[in-house]
Chain A
Amino acid sequence: MAELLRVSSLQTHYTSFGGSRVIKAVDGVSFTLHEGETIGLVGESGCGKTTTCLSIVGLLPSAAHIVGGNIEFDGEELTKKRPREMRHIRGRRIAMILQDPMASLNPLFSIYLQVAEPAFYHQRVRGRSLRQRVRDLLQAVRIPSPEVRMREYPHQMSGGMRQRVVGAIAMAGGPKLIIADEPTTNLDVTIQAQYLEVLKDIQRESGVALIFVTHNLGIVAKMCDRMAVMYAGKIVEQGSVRDLFRSARHPYTQALLGSMPKLGSKEPLFAIPGQPPNLARLPSGCAFHPRCAYAMPRCIEEEPADRSVGAEWKARCWLTAQEPAKEAYAGATA
């Protein structure tokens, strides 16, 4: 499969208080995504996953700037684009699905208008073919009776339906990449399951690549081919989902896996001690060391480099410089 997106050493900083406080929200993030692939961007709040996505689509808030690195998408360098050019890319070639469907939908416009907009604006589809397009899109996201539904308004639909409409809008421009930022957090369990099925179907039918941002490893296990685990603005481990679930190399990944409750098991959960880091005052060396059970003196002094630990598998940990990490975290293995 061809390479679609290559993020290299991306750095995005937030400045506040007139420049006196710099938060390195994204600090040297690199990953690659191929056409049709799904990658899960995993991490807890404040790790930088949303900022990474906003950097890619050029929707950073005014306090944030990309200060380094490259984002190559479909042969073009996105960091060099002007806002007007980004506007043509957004919606047409890269689409976003956000967490709150009510915030993504305009309450004043009908479903038809909102789903039609990307096709209308980017692909210049008009009239009857536009209506057909909307119908097809709504069907692709499994909304029953699309003819009727397209005349409705967001408030007349349930949460799950709305999120599907958001998915239809995302597909309307015919994108090659969809970035989904916690799209199912507000949905009920059964609705979430249905929605994820829909996403999978869309992907299979259209071959669109997917970046799935989430803190829920279960979603990654279900939906993603590859995953990248973020902590304090850096990717600490990335590789195929299977490899990481089976034998993660970074202690943080292992800890995350160990802290997931498993259905039908009462084994005590592994709880990572301490608190998530304060990005304004990061620990020295490896940002995870205060909470790491394997911390060595080197971890406090030096930031670990990103090293390859297998086929398309990288981890940022000094442990990888030695033998493979022992399986000390309960539940890290299958």
Chain B
Amino acid sequence: MPAPLLELRDLQKYFPVKTGSLLRRKIGWVKAVDGVDLAIFAGETLGLIGESGCGKTTTSKLILLQEAPTAGTIRFDGEDVSTLRGTALMQYRREVQVVFQDPYSSLSPRMRVGDIIGEPLEIHTNLSRRALAERVAEVLELVGLQPDLARLFPHEFSGGQRQRIAIARALATNTRLIVLDEAVSALDVSIRAQIMNQLEELQQRLGVSYLFIGHDLATVAHISDRIAVMYLGQIVELADSLELCAKPLHPYTQALFTAALPAHPDERHQKLAITGEVPSALNPPSGCRFHPRCPHAMPRCAVETPVRKEAASQHIVACHLY
């Protein structure tokens, strides 16, 4: 088993909640990420799926060093990321990039596209102007855009094209891991398919890994090799993508599948078994966090937090049913 490219271990991020304006006492913690274990290997796509408030955005911020973890470690190529300084830190930033959801605000409106894509190169390398321009042209072609579009401004492109530019930017510096944070959610259906195909092709060609964060099961399942399901700050299930679709074990995962929209009007339709809303991360339920909404809840579930077990080969679940 080769070593993972990125490894999250017992990752925790608690946000303090304060009251009062002057003294601001702490009255509690929002446990946005509460004990997450994940590994992403070179050349693979790990899907991270969950609904709002599950902590996937916070996880992505932790990986991108926009936030510091309260506890736990993030290791990249074996090295603890929080200890990185100077050149090593810049190296990390060079190799880990992100593409955000909104194509209309992720590109600097007053910079030419070529400059936008070239910026990481400017920051990290000493390439001459010509070498930079060549690299930018190279990357533009990689994402399916004509190199001479580099001199245009972002507002002259459509949403799908802007996402391509964002992807090009993320690839410019020989990136090894790209966090795709709902990167296709804001795109039209046909463009979404284009971008997803493009991403897969790029992965095959360049061997770059993806962390694909999304909320649409079908989309995430399609592009991911493995999928992790998050609920209220914890990973409740982790398995190979096809395996998960064939046999979802955790009741929450099963609910996600039931709730997923059909692909055909004739598809058999089950009644949704869960009710209610996602509780707040400020006061998560005791024991298994899903138990108030779980159709299979047992007395044990309210008391004891389930431990992650390997219920089937390479298929990890955190649930007392297994």
Residues of A within 8 A of B (CB): 44-45, 158-161, 188-194, 197, 215-219, 221-222, 241-242, 245, 255-256, 259-266, 268-273, 275-276, 334
Contact = CB atoms under 8 A, between A and B. Distances in A.
A269 B261 contact: no
Given A263-B221, A272-B190, A242 B256 contact: no
A276 B158 contact: yes
Given A221-B264, A222-B269, A269 B255 contact: no
Nearest to A241: B265
8 contacts: A189-B260, A190-B274, A193-B260, A221-B262, A245-B264, A245-B266, A270-B193, A272-B193
Contacts, number: 128
Given A263-B221, A264-B242, A276-B158, A189 B215 contact: yes
Contact of A271 (B197, B217, B269, B275): B197
A263 B275 CA distance: 23
Contacts of B51: 188-191
Interface string B197-217: 100100000000000000111
Contact of A222 (B192, B194, B219, B261): B261
A266 B227 CA distance: 14
Contacts of B272: 190, 193-194, 197
Contact of B242 (A188, A256, A266, A272): A266
Contact of B215 (A188, A268, A269, A273): A188
A259 B265 contact: no
Nearest to B293: A190
B194 A271 contact: yes
Contacts of A188: 51-52, 215, 278
A275 B261 contact: no
A193 B216 CA distance: 12
Contacts of B278: 188
Contacts of B196: 261, 269, 271
A260 B190 contact: no
A227 to B, nearest CB: 10
Contacts of B1: none
Which 4 A-B residue pairings sit nearest by Cβ, starting from the closest?
Answer: A218-B261, A193-B259, A259-B193, A261-B222
A44 B189 contact: yes
A261 B194 CA distance: 12
B264 A189 contact: no
A275 B160 contact: yes
A176 to B, nearest CB: 25
B263 A275 contact: no
Interface in B62-85: none
Nearest to A218: B261
B7 to A, nearest CB: 26
Contacts of A272: 190, 193-194
Contacts of A242: 265-266
A307 to B, nearest CB: 24
Contacts of B266: 242, 245, 334
Among A160, A191, A262, A264: residue with most chain B CB under 10 A: A264
B218 interface: yes
A159 B51 CA distance: 12
Nearest to B200: A268
A75 to B, nearest CB: 31
B41 interface: no
A265 B219 CA distance: 10
Contact of B246 (A44, A264, A269): A264
Contact of B197 (A45, A190, A215, A268): A268
B148 interface: no
Given A264-B245, A272-B193, A275-B158, A190 B255 contact: yes
